[in-house]
Amino acid sequence: MNDLSALIEAVLFAAAQPMGVKRLADITNSKQEDVKGALSDLQGRLETSGSGLMLIVQGGEAELVTRPEMAETVRSVLKADAQGELSKPSMEALAILAYRGPMTRPEVEQIRGVQSTLILRNLMLRGLVEMGEEMRLGQPTYSVTIDFYKHLGMSKPEELPEYEALRGHSAVQQALEELEPKEDPNLTGQTI
């Protein structure tokens, strides 16, 4: 197995959304031509291994998806996720977005301390979170929806309990500052 192919597989799985060849090249510190070759390798490996996943490459973007023949089972799992009670991790992500949003996935993960891709996806399926068009740190932002406030009987974030105190909490601010690019004092104007 090609190391770049495996790395791209992991990145696409974690991203849970389409990613462009250029972005994959940047993330993996590779040439675009090498990424294209690794995507081809990955596509072939998934086809021949009997995997429940397949790779779609179209218009310069690649995405890992489930095979169509698995759709009914996957749909039932997603339906159960969308209709069941919210888990503690989902509630944490919602609270973070309600008090501090809009935020990128890495920002939410920095505060929570754990990977949040699937949680954000499930909250989007429930209609409680939406992906915005704004990009920050090379990532799309997420925020709670109007439906979220409707479920709580509120019309704006300021109606949340202790909104001002929790929105500006120093521990949250410190965690977010750790994500900000730092300037290297030895390289004028360059970030590390």
Q: How do residues 118-176 score in pLDDT, each as one tens digit?
A: 888 888 888 899 988 788 767 888 999 988 888 888 888 888 888 777 777 676 667 66
Q: Which of 21, 40, 66 is the last residue of a domain?
A: 66
Output the pTM of the full model.
Answer: 0.54
| Spatial CA neighbour of 17 closest among 117, 137, 147 | 117
Query: Two tokens at 50?
Result: 């009997």
Q: How far apart are the first and last CA of the chain?
A: 32
Q: Does the residue 143 lie in any domain?
A: yes
* CB burial string 125-155: b at 16+ within 10 A, e below: ebebbbbeeeeeeeeebbbbbeebbeeeeee
Average pLDDT over residues 64-70: 86
Average pLDDT, the chain: 81
State the pLDDT confidence band at 82, using cuts at 50, 70 and 90.
low
Q: Does the residue 191 lie in any domain?
A: no
Q: Does the residue 185 lie in any domain?
A: no
Q: Is the domain of 140 the same as that of 55? A: no
Domain of residue 162, residue span: 77-177
> Total domain count for the chain?
2
Q: Is the domain of 82 the same as that of 173? A: yes
Q: Is the domain of 51 the same as that of 83? A: no
